[in-house]
Amino acid sequence: MKRTLIISSAVMLAFITGGHAAQKPNIIFMLSDDQSWNGLSVAMHPEFSGSKSSHVRTPNLEKLAASGLRFSSAYAPASVCSPTRIALQTGKSPAQLGWTKAAPTMTAADGYKMIPPTNIRSISKDEVTVAELLKTAGYATAHYGKWHINGGGPEAHGYDESDGETSNKDAAPFKDPNPVDIFGMASRAQAFMAKNHKLGKPFFIQMSFHALHYPENARAETLANVRKRNVGGNEKNVLRIAIAEDLDAGVGKVLAAIDKLGIADNTYVIYMSDNGGGGGGGMRDGLSGGKGSVWEGGIRVPLIIAGPGIKGGGFNHQRVIGQDFLPTFCELAGVKAPMPKGVEGGSFVHLLHGERHPVKRLHEELVFHFPHYQSSDGPHTALILGDIKLIKFYETGELKLFDLSKDLAEKVELSEKHPEQTEALNKRLNNYLRDVGARLPVPNPNYDPSKPPQPPKKGKKGKGSNKKKNLREKQ
């Protein structure tokens, strides 16, 4: 049985602004897929030249940034998809939830030095989601696009409307003129907004875009325009630029719908990526690492927020993480129900209002636990405390230390210079993992260093989509 929410009988009637009551704000949360921190034409840091793309054109996100706030130190809960998505729904870390990898994990038979832990791979009915909490405050809720955490789909977890229990493959059939269902999602969100605005009911919409997956589905016109610009790189790079620009056009459609309804002054719009882009180790456009690693390139993501009381064009440099959204949205919505046990995120509403002090969370440190094989680093975990970052590598036991305030690219390794600080952070990391019940890799008793490991197994194909048939039609 799902834990019963203890709901206060008193419901917040309004937010107070200048002494006048105001309607509860609408919240639209847009999540892109595999989009790098510097994957927009919007700079994510005012002083870091590698914080925006010189090739991708995202004018609608530029517009959103001009009216909103950019977070230079925003982090996805994980460097891969599904763990981030379940953390966003619950406010808990992937380490606590026992879901730290998207694809199936390695076994002893694969021949690696360590045996990674298995994953739960389904959101439990016992977890209380952000949608369920917002509904206690009178919100209409919708989830469009990629769910990818099983458990019966969004409507089994507090959403009034959804596209069903979708995953990556559901994007594949949607091609020009509706690549990976970008514009279909925007249309459904527009209809949901209009319906609830007419009813006078506040709404929460999560739009989990499939892009940048299936970049080959980009619109022909967009792709032609990208080719004319001679952006360089291989064909995959060209396709990814095109689908990113189609995604920006979808964002523009959502923003236009907000303006048409006249609700911009009472609507928060959030744009973020589920993890860093690319894959493997090494330098990637100014940041080290990529998808599947806990270097900055795998976990630092673009984050732009616009809405009531937010001064446009600014930057905030405090660290925020995906787990923070649940308590933040609840504070914005006036949720009276207590936070579920184990929520690790903290509200950052004060940052939206121009304050600078750090977010208060259950744990002061941020931990990114990836005890798996996907990048060249093997199983590894990172901890960030203040500006100092520790990375622990399980195969070798090696510890690396970086000062992100001076070395965002993680080029200067400091563990030998600061051995006491390194060991103190390692102890803190071990205590955190113990306290949340994190699953760890263990030595493989069958490991033979003379035999190279087998290539990672591909995930098994599903038995067909649960996506609602009427949403299969190209829009």
Quick one: three-class SS letters along 361-392? CCCCCEEEEECCCCCCCCCEEEEEECCEEEEE
Work out the mean pLDDT of the chain and round it to a whole number: 91
pLDDT in tens, 352-398: 999 989 999 999 999 999 999 999 999 999 999 999 999 999 999 99
Task: Report, in angstroms and rounded to the nearest whole number, the Rg of the chain calculated over CA atoms.
Answer: 22
pLDDT for the residue numbered 463:
35
> What is the distance of C-alpha 154 from the center of its chain?
17
Return the residue matching tokens 């929410």. 5
pLDDT for the residue numbered 239:
96
Q: Mean per-residue pLDDT for 251-274?
A: 98
Q: Evaluate whether 27 touches 270 at the Cβ level (below 8 Å).
A: yes
Beta bridge partners of 402: 389
User: Can you tell me whether residue 465 is helix, strand or coil?
Assistant: coil
Task: Dig out the tokens for 134 from the structure.
Answer: 């917002």
Q: Is the pLDDT of residue 19 over 60?
A: no
Return the residue matching tokens 């205590």. 431
Q: How far apart are CA 13 and CA 6, in angstroms?
A: 18
Q: What is the DSSP string of 154-212?
A: GGGTT-SEE--S--GGGGTT--TTSGGGHHHHHHHHHHHHHHHHHHT--EEEEEE--TT
In order of start, what are the domains of the chain with their CATH numbers? Answer: 23-362 (3.40.720.10), 367-443 (3.30.1120.10)
Q: Mean per-residue pLDDT for 151-167?
A: 98
Q: Residue 177, preceding bond cis, omega within 30 degrees? A: yes
Are β-strands 320-321 and 74-75 bridged in parallel, bridged antiparallel, or unpaired? parallel
Q: Evaluate whether 305 touches 31 at the Cβ level (below 8 Å).
A: no
pLDDT for the residue numbered 8:
37
pLDDT for the residue numbered 18:
35
The pTM of the whole model exceeds 0.75: yes
Beta bridge partners of 429: none
Classify 152 in phi/psi space as left (phi over 0), alpha (psi -120 to 50) or beta: left
Q: Is the pLDDT of residue 177 over 60?
A: yes
DSSP state of 137: T
